[in-house]
Amino acid sequence: MKIKTLFLILCITFVTYFCFAQDVIPIEAKRNAIVEECKKYIGTPYLYGGLTKDGIDCSGFVFTTIRDSTGIQLPRTVKALYSFVRIIPEDKKQKGDLVFFKTVESRISHVGVYIGNNQFIHSVSDGPNTGVIVSSLKENYWKTKYAGAGTYFPVELNTSESYIASDKKSENTENIENTVSYTESKKKTNTFNLDASIFMNWNLFTTDQFLFNIRGVTLQVHGVYNKWKLHPGFGIDFKYEPKMNIFQIPMYFSLSPKDFLRIYAGTVFTFGKPVLIGSEQEIRSSIFPGILGVSWQTPAIKIGKTGLRFVQDISYTIFNKENNSALNFVDSIVAGLVFQSGLRLDIYFN
């Protein structure tokens, strides 16, 4: 039991270090990393809907380069990016910020990444030069289409500086109407999210062979508080695993330091007499320490106040022998290591 508890603590330490390592990187270093990543795509052909070096569009270029260089997950479309960022004055824009253009009538329809010295990198669909290129804000064409710059980086909390925000309710206006401070913009963040997920449970092991096993299904309900940086939450699962002859209810606390990442740990209540998969050996479940897990999720496909995501989850649940002594390493992995693949529905509350 002591060995498993130590293993659980080491896993939590490792995962927590992995999750928070990016947060200590200075913003200036992130900005430089974005520029370097953008330069790698120069010459990539334009492809509507593309996200790779085989072909990429303007918003896909922003989405992919910023995600791969910093882990920051931005919206996928130009319109969503413009709604997401905080509009800033011209003299405040820095490397890594976004620049927007009205290339189709009077609506925001194009985006690029600012790299300093009035230059930006973007993916262009037509004109003498197409694909990912470097352009200047002083070029006649882009100067006449320029709509403004926006940032997704946070401002220091002790700053008294305010930012100019364009009225995004109407893209036809050319006038800047609202002054919004960082503190005021933070209030627009959803306070609370509720999500529900359905998973297929599986693993790749039995006691005597390497074999793909569908173990059962899980229904998960989880809530997240968004006003704190680490996004703490609480979840409860309803897990049915017929191959182990059990029904389990894990209850756990979670942290979501990134939009695509969640780590959690808690207790597990087990109903039924668990057996080891691939044998008839009866084993015993542990209430606490119970479960440790981490899950990754794709960006949400948002529809109003809801969002749909694909989720991949990996968890480890503690089991022991009938006499409450520790299982050997292989048996503990067969019994406790579970992969869960499924869909998550997010519901956003103001």
Q: Give per-residue pLDDT as tens, 146-187.
A: 999 999 998 643 333 334 344 443 443 333 333 333 333 333
Q: Is 10 contained in some domain?
A: no
Percent of the chain with pLDDT over 90: 66
Q: State the catalytic residue, choosing from 38, 122, 222, 231.
A: 122
19 is annotated as an active-site residue: no
Q: Is 4 contained in some domain?
A: no
Q: State the catalytic residue, choosing from 19, 58, 222, 231.
A: 58
Q: pLDDT per position in the chain (350 positions), as tens?
A: 444 555 555 555 554 444 444 444 588 999 999 999 999 999 999 999 999 999 999 999 999 999 999 989 999 999 999 999 999 999 999 999 999 999 998 899 999 999 999 999 999 998 889 999 999 999 999 999 999 999 999 864 333 333 434 444 344 333 333 333 333 333 345 678 899 999 999 999 888 888 899 999 999 999 999 888 889 999 999 999 999 999 999 999 999 988 889 999 999 999 999 999 888 899 999 999 899 999 999 988 878 778 899 999 999 999 999 888 999 999 999 999 999 999 999 987 76
130 shares its domain with 274: no
117 shares its domain with 199: no
Q: State the catalytic residue, choosing from 19, 38, 110, 231.
A: 110
For 95-139, the pLDDT digits (tens) are: 999 999 999 988 999 999 999 999 999 999 988 899 999 999 999
155 shares its domain with 209: no
133 shares its domain with 214: no
Question: What's 315's domain CATH number?
Answer: 2.40.160
171 shares its domain with 213: no
Q: In three state form, how does the secondary structure of the chain look?
A: CHHHHHHHHHHHHHHHHHHHHHHHCCHHHHHHHHHHHHHCCCCCCECCCCEECCEECHHHHHHHHHHHHHCCCCCCCHHHHHHHCEEECHHHCCCCCEEEECCECCECCEEEEEEECCEEEEEECCCCCCEEEEEECCCHHHHHHEEEEEECCCCCCCCCCEEEECCCCCCCCCCCCEEEEHHHHHCCCCCEEEEEEEEEEEEEECCCCEEEEEEEEEEEEEEEECCCCCCEEEEEEEEEEHHHCEEEEEEEEEEEEECCEEEEEEEEEEECCCECCCCCCEEEECCCCCEEEEEEECCCEEECCEEEEEEEEEEEECEEECCCCECCHHHHHHHHEEEEEEEEEEEEEC
231 is annotated as an active-site residue: no
182 shares its domain with 241: no
222 is annotated as an active-site residue: no
